[in-house]
Homo-oligomer: A and B are copies of this chain.
Amino acid sequence: MTLPTAQRIRLALENAIVDGRLTPGQQIDPDQVARDYGCSRTPVREALQALEASGLLIVQPKRGTFVAKLGVPELMDRFELMAELESFCARLACRRADADDLARIDTALTACEGARHDPDRYYAENTAFHQAIYRAAHNAFLETETLRLQAILQPYRRRQLQSPGRVANSLAEHRQIAAAIAASDADGAARAMTDHVLVQGERFRDLVAVVGSLSRPQAGGVALR
């Protein structure tokens, strides 16, 4: 219990969202959370505000707090930026990755291969592979920001890996990216990573084009235009 309650709640909720136990659009009852953790509303409130700031929750004043449910335009914006950030990570990794970084990337790639027949495990190993590249960029701030955006997009990526054949394609792309980084081919790594991420965005758009028309998304990022 060395960690403040508010942060424990924050991490727990964040994990629940990323792991899919809380799904986009789901309402969160602060009082219930407070009961669950045996605390008052105050630390819960702090946790919810922090999660809202990082984009995982949205608070609709006087209506309730919900797991962020992004509409198509909001998701396209985020995938577009994610592709750029990850691509930048890959590019920097080509310049800066040391032996340890390369080893971590290779280990993660192998773990992906081993998990290719188990979607849930592949999902986790895929996440780790990308994070190994963020780290290899040797820019702590970039790493943090990219991790945050990754967390926001995780609930939406999860579905995609269930498309038949997607895992195999993803694996092939991973190999290509890892090879480019190992060869210090900055342009190649950046391009491969951009494609890898944007494919997910495209796939997602296809998905929602079919299913999406049912439920109305809540505005996520808030654009003042």
Interface residues of A (CB under 8 A from B): 46, 49-50, 53-54, 73-74, 77-78, 80-81, 84, 88, 95-96, 135, 138-145, 221-225
How many copies of the polypeptide does the oligomer hold?
Answer: 2
Asked if residues B74 and A225 are in contact (CB atoms below 8 Å), the reply is no
Identify the closest chain B residue to A152 (Cβ).
B141
- Complex CA gap A203/B216 in Å reads 48
Chain B residues, CB < 8 A from A138: 221, 225
- Complex CA gap A74/B141 in Å reads 7
Q: Which 4 residue pairs spanning A and B have beta carbons closest together?
A: A140-B223, A77-B141, A53-B53, A141-B221
25 contacts between A and B (CB under 8 A): A46-B46, A46-B49, A49-B49, A49-B50, A53-B53, A74-B141, A77-B140, A77-B142, A78-B141, A80-B139, A81-B139, A81-B141, A81-B142, A81-B145, A84-B84, A84-B88, A95-B224, A96-B225, A138-B221, A140-B222, A140-B223, A141-B221, A143-B223, A144-B221, A144-B222
